[in-house]
Chain A
Amino acid sequence: MNRRHFIRETCNLCVTAIVAGWLAESCAGSGRVIQAGVNGQELEIKASELEDNRFQVIDASGLRYRIAVRREAEGQYMALLLMCTHARNPVTLTGNGFYCPLHGSRFDDQGNVVQGPAQQPLVHLPVDMDPQGLLHIHLQPWMKES
């Protein structure tokens, strides 16, 4: 292996490692799913499980769809039901919003429609936090599996 070849191979390896590391970090940050329990008409999770400005996807047994929660400001949280408002297909969390693979609808990180055919924003669920730092996400009866 000559010097030029060695330098080229080393540079290629570095670029590959940087890209792979960046991809791994981006993926790990935007896609982690946690399990949570349903307590009556509420879903409860610890506020400490949320990272700043990142959606946390919650998978709760007995619910038809996952829920994405994000801390908006100190003491303020937003919870979105991951159901496309067009044909009720589950939507996927992307880096900048949500995407429905069934017909291509896209929603921004506030749940607003960016790309049709959906016409209605994602369903927002009321969230409040108790003094123990537990978030209570209020559910509707139709969200539960029958």
Chain B
Amino acid sequence: MGRKFLLFFLGWYFGMISLAQAQKPALLTGEDSLHQQLGPSTIIGGYGEAAYQRDMDQGASKIDLVRTVLFVGHQFNDRISFFSELELEDAKVEGGDAGGEIAMEQAYLKFSGKRNPQNYWVAGLFIPRIGILNEDHLPVNFNGVERPLVEQLVIPATWRELGIGYYGSLSAWPLQYTVALVNGLDAADFSHGTGIREGRFEGRNATANNLAVTASVRVNPGSFQLQVSGYAGGTNGLNKRESDSLGLAHGLFALPLYLGEADAQYWHEGLHVKILGTYISFPDAADVNKAYANNVASGMYGAYAEVGYNLFHRAAGRLQKQQLNLFARYEWIDLNNRIPANAIYDGTLRQSHLVVGAGYLPIPNVVIKADVRFQHTGPQNPALVINPNPAAPPYQQNNSFVNLGIGYSF
């Protein structure tokens, strides 16, 4: 009896161990997951970049771990999954010190369609498809140490908001589209010189009194990718009483802001060409300036054109899987293209930038970059100068920056 019990106990014990191991949640890399049954699993990844910049006019240099980002994704079943990106900017955040940021860059649930998994809903904090870089912002995927300035200052990438979105594609045509409903912007936080960037909520205590819709259409004919996208949303989340006291309109789409964008990309052999243009219209800027005195513009634009070529495209042997991308990009920006009567024109916000450089990718996931950016702006408006020369160095309309950087993604 004792031996039978012992055998039964040992059998039960090892059986339970086997069962526990079989049920252990899988933490898989992309490679591992392919060789297993694609059951519930968690996938990790990430990207990051560090940069050195020398301001040739000021003779000042800085070096920064610009961002490190951790992806965590989990697939619950065939149709429901979760994606997130947690970002740390400037290496650390310390109480009392300016700079640094920890933020969720994305955190959303994805519900795939039954008939076609390429069509899906997302809900949560996500990045709408506006422009090129907003959605595709990994450092190995764009030329230059700095992100294109148009997609920082006019399209405030990485621009994410809370809401729901639908990502669809047509079966008969290589056409993808997106439609999303997200929380609106906050005009009270728009600040002179940074476009609409400071008005984003990025998932933190967003006012839901105002909403926005975004949409995009993308087609891939031949070696081209063409896209148009747009955003229209209210920028006042205050209630009626607060709005009335400030003399502002209120409602879901009150103080509307419109952004339109179009871009085209072309690949051929080692050649990659990109062009992008975007315009922001903010018709009620005068009301916002009256309420908050933040000197915002009613019209802003940005455009850039970039040509890149991979010198190793035709290389053989060891270099075949490496890339050495030479590129040149020209950008035009005017953050006060149109201003209301109660705003003050700032010539320094009318800018052009020529960026010339190279990126070396020993593998597609790692990049070493170097470039020079030549900047030209309009003149300073003396009415906006708080510390005139000699209290501050005289403003230089022409300047240049030398940039070095590294980046990775996995």
A residues lining the B interface (CB < 8 Å):
22-23, 26-28, 30-33, 59, 61, 64-66, 85-88, 90, 92-96, 99, 101-104, 113-120, 123, 141-143, 145-146
The segment from B16-24, B34-42, B52-60 found at the interface with A is B34-42
> Once the chains bind, are A119 and B223 in contact (CB under 8 Å)?
no
CA of A90 to CA of B113, assembled, Å: 12
CB contact under 8 A between A119 and B365, given known A30-B220, A86-B30, A94-B225: yes
Q: Which of A30, A33, A87, A142 contacts B222 (CB 8 A)?
A: A30
Query: A116 touches which one: B43, B220, B221, B364 (CB < 8 A)?
Result: B364
Q: Closest B-chain residue to A91, C-beta based?
A: B118
A30 to B220, CA, bound (A): 8
Asked if B94 is an interface residue, CB under 8 A from chain A, the answer is no
Is B30 within 8 A of A119, CB to CB?
Answer: yes
Complex interface: stretch among B96-104, B163-171, B206-214, B228-236? B163-171
Which residues on A sit within 8 Å (CB–CB) of B220?
A: 27, 30-31, 92-95, 99
Contact B34 A103 (CB under 8 A): no
Known A-B contacts A119-B31, A120-B34; the reply to A88 vs B75 at CB < 8 A is: yes
| Docked-complex contact B36 and A114, CB < 8 angstroms | no
Asked if residues A28 and B173 are in contact (CB atoms below 8 Å), the reply is yes
Task: Verify A104–B136 contact, CB threshold 8 A.
Answer: yes
A27 and B174 form a contact (CB under 8 A): yes
Say yes or no: A117 contacts B409, CB within 8 Å: yes
Q: Taking each of B38, B73, B115, B129, which has the highest tally of chain A beta carbons within 10 Å of its own beta carbon? A: B38
Interface: B47 (CB within 8 A): yes
Other-chain contact of B117, A87, A90, A95 (Cβ < 8 Å): A90
> Hey, which chain A residues are within 8 Å of B118, CB to CB?
66, 90, 92
Q: In the bound complex, how far is the Cα of B33 from the Cα of A143, in angstroms?
A: 12
Q: What's the nearest-Cβ distance from chain A to residue B313, in Å?
A: 11
Q: Are A116 and B410 interface neighbours, CB within 8 A?
A: yes
- Contact across chains for A27 and B219 when beta carbons are under 8 A apart: yes
A92 close to B169 (CB less than 8 A): yes
Instruction: Count B interface residues, CB 8 Å.
Output: 52
A114-B364, A117-B409, A120-B34 known; A23-B141 Cβ under 8 A: no
B61 at the interface (CB under 8 A from A): no
Instruction: Choose one: B31, B47, B175; the contact of A85 (CB below 8 Å).
Output: B31
C-alpha spacing A76/B170, complex, angstroms:
29
Interface string of B156-199 (1 = CB under 8 A from A): 00000000000101111111100000000000000000000000
Nearest residue (CB) in A for B366 is A116
B43 contact from A32, A87, A146, Cβ within 8 A: A87
**Nearest-CB residue, chain A, relative to B44:** A87
Select A95's contact among B172, B222, B363, beta carbons within 8 Å.
B222
In angstroms, how far is the closest chain A Cβ from the Cβ of B320? 10
List of 9 A-B pairs having minimum Cβ-Cβ separation, nearest first? A31-B174, A26-B221, A104-B136, A117-B409, A116-B365, A95-B222, A94-B220, A33-B171, A26-B222
Q: Which residues of B, 62-80, contact A by the 8 Å Cβ criterion?
A: 71, 73, 75, 77-78
- Residues on B with C-beta less than 8 A from A103 are 45, 71, 136, 138, 409
Q: Does B116 lie at the interface of the complex (its beta carbon under 8 Å from any beta carbon of A)? A: yes
Q: Which residue of B lies closest to A117 (CB)?
A: B409
Q: Which residues of B are found within 8 Å of A95, using beta-carbon distances?
A: 174, 220-225, 267
B135 adjacent to chain A (CB < 8 Å): yes
* The one of B36, B38, B115, B221 that contacts A88, using a Cβ cutoff of 8 Å: B38
